[in-house]
């Protein structure tokens, strides 16, 4: 059953697990992998060659391309880390049922790990998340519970509340709880951040990160401030979410459609102390930029990558990043999750998201 996880994130020295590259920043992949889980992490860093230029920026913009993960998002890292840390501590036993409330990508990662390791998997997800994510999780063998949209997280009918109830009801079950589990930020502290620093030879001036659980922000920002104290940390939170600081930036109750970022509470896994500046993000700008990333850079990203880049460009301008300086933007998930959403002109048009969309660049 659920252990007493610490309510604040703790940062100890990391273990030398094969998936933690702290002691080995450049893990060498064997030619033949034992399972798909060995293909988690080690994503490419890719230079953006066109969008920055057309926005008048001279600095270098690099994308940490997490959509190349086997489950399609950066959340594969935390799914594996949360499950393996809990296995190591003896909290997950053979025959266990693993339960997770998720906006989808963690659910896909958890379902993938459970498929490989043979655990029963239950994912609890709000209705508003895309059917593409549900189809992927179902194909991986997960059982899905959908909850109504907009229910406050502390109510029993919310996706968090339903997951807690299922954990009480199902014997030999374990709730991973990415919102509180310290293995979430640790996966990024040990993995994502190390890979970013390694790719950049410790030379970077800005990192841009969208926030959902805040695990990426917490882990990446902490490690990068340790190694590159002058690097600016820029965090992006949708209009309608309550994570940004100062609190006056936030507008309670406003609906937003970009998936995976934004919450009606500040998760315990989210440590905001390293953020130099918060930006509030609108849906239209986010989706239009996601389409530009696909069209102009050839990178098959999801909506929150558009959010990060659009507001990242704003931040690069606000902080005056110059030629020779470098900004890393994290592209979290893949186009696969959104075929019927921002990729679809009708879906975009009905919502007014196509207004003022830039013409295709002439070649």
Contact window for ligand PMP (CB under 6 A) among 47-55, 113-121, 135-143, 212-220: 212-220
Distances (CA, A) of 360 to 284, 292, 338, 341: 17, 9, 21, 20
CB contact at 8 A, 161 and 86: no
Told to check if 183 binds ligand PMP by CB under 6 A, we report no
Told to check if 312 binds ligand PMP by CB under 6 A, we report no
Contact window for ligand PMP (CB under 6 A) among 35-43, 164-172, 231-239, 257-265: 257-265
**Catalytic residue, candidates 64, 75, 232, 263:** 75
Coil, strand or helix at 61: strand
Told to check if 333 binds ligand PMP by CB under 6 A, we report yes
Q: Which of 158, 173, 213, 286 binds ligand PMP (CB under 6 A)?
A: 213
What's phi and psi for 329, nearest 5 deg? -115, 135
The closest of 176, 210, 188 to 312, measured between CA atoms, is 210
CA–CA gap between residue 272 and residue 206 (Å, rounded): 16
**Is 225 annotated in the active site?**
no
> Looking at beta carbons only, is 266 or 327 nearer to ligand PMP?
266
Contact window for ligand PMP (CB under 6 A) among 10-18, 39-47, 108-116, 258-266: 258-266
Coil, strand or helix at 277: strand
User: Which residues, numbered 284-303, are part of the site for ligand PMP (CB under 6 A)?
Assistant: 302
Number of residues that bind ligand PMP (CB under 6 A): 19
CA–CA gap between residue 218 and residue 184 (Å, rounded): 9
Told to check if 101 binds ligand PMP by CB under 6 A, we report no
Distances (CA, A) of 67 to 238, 299, 335: 20, 9, 8
Residues that bind ligand PMP (CB under 6 A): 73, 75, 103, 105, 210-217, 259-261, 302, 304, 332-333
| Catalytic residue annotation | 75
């Amino acid at each position: 059953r659920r252990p007493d996880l610490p309510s604040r994130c703790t940062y100890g020295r990391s273990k030398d697990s094969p998936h933690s590259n702290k002691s080995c920043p450049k893990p060498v992949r064997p030619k033949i992998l034992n399972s798909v889980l060995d293909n988690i992490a080690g994503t490419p860093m890719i230079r953006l060659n066109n969008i920055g230029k057309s926005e008048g920026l001279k600095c270098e913009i690099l994308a940490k391309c997490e959509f190349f993960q086997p489950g399609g998002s950066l959340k594969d890292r935390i799914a594996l880390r949360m499950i393996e840390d809990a296995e190591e501590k003896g909290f997950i036993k053979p025959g266990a049922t693993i339960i997770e409330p998720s906006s989808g990508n963690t659910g896909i990662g958890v379902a993938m790990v459970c498929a490989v390791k043979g655990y029963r998997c239950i994912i609890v997800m709000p209705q508003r998340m895309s059917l593409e994510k549900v189809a992927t999780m179902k194909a991986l063998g997960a059982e899905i519970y959908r909850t109504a949209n907009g229910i406050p997280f502390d109510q029993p009918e919310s996706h968090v509340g339903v997951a807690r109830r299922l954990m009480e009801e199902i014997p030999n079950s374990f709730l991973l709880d990415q919102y509180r589990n310290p293995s979430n930020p640790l996966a990024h502290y040990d993995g994502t951040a190390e890979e970013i620093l390694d790719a950049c030879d410790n030379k970077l001036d800005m990192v841009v990160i969208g926030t959902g659980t805040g695990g990426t922000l917490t882990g990446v920002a902490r490690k990068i401030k340790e190694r590159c104290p002058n690097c600016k940390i820029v965090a992006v939170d949708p209009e309608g979410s309550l994570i940004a600081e100062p609190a006056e930036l936030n507008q309670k109750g406003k609906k937003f459609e970009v998936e995976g970022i934004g919450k009606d509470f500040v998760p315990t896994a989210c440590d905001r102390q390293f953020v130099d500046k918060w930006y509030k993000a609108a849906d239209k700008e986010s989706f239009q930029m996601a389409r530009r990333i696909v069209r102009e850079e050839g990178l098959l990203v999801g909506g929150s990558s558009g959010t990060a880049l659009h507001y990242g460009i704003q931040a690069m301008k606000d902080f005056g990043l110059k030629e020779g300086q470098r900004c890393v933007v994290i592209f979290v998930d893949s186009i696969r999750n959104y075929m019927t959403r921002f990729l679809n002109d009708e879906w975009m048009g009905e919502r007014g998201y196509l207004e003022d969309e830039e013409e295709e660049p002439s070649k």
